[in-house]
Amino acid sequence: MAHMSLTALRNKLFKVVDEIIKTGIPVEIEKNNHKLLIVLKEKKSKLHNLKPHDCIIGDPDDLVNLKVTEWDEVNNL
């Protein structure tokens, strides 16, 4: 959670609100020893913040029917 003064919020209000909408992470504002919290009303899933990774080498369709090995008790011991 980010912390900032009301003056800092005033200077970049639209950027802060856009970031809250994008990430769902609330921002805490302080003025005269009073703390306020700006939060997104609808909850976002934590999975929403995951970034995709390109980690499959080759054709992903080849993984659909992939059989690594068959276990055969007698031969595998």
For the stretch 37-58, pLDDT in tens is: 999 888 777 787 788 887 888 8
Q: Say which residue, 56 or 13, is predicted with more confidence.
A: 13
Residue 28 banded pLDDT, cuts 50, 70, 90: very high
Residue 27 banded pLDDT, cuts 50, 70, 90: very high
Q: For residue 48, give the DSSP letter.
A: G
What is residue 37's predicted lDDT score, i.e. its pLDDT?
A: 93
Residue 2 banded pLDDT, cuts 50, 70, 90: confident
Domain residues of the chain, as ranges? 2-68
What is residue 6's predicted lDDT score, i.e. its pLDDT?
A: 86
Q: What superfamily does domain 2-68 belong to in CATH?
A: YefM-like domain (3.40.1620.10)
Q: What residue type is assigned to position 54 of the chain? A: D
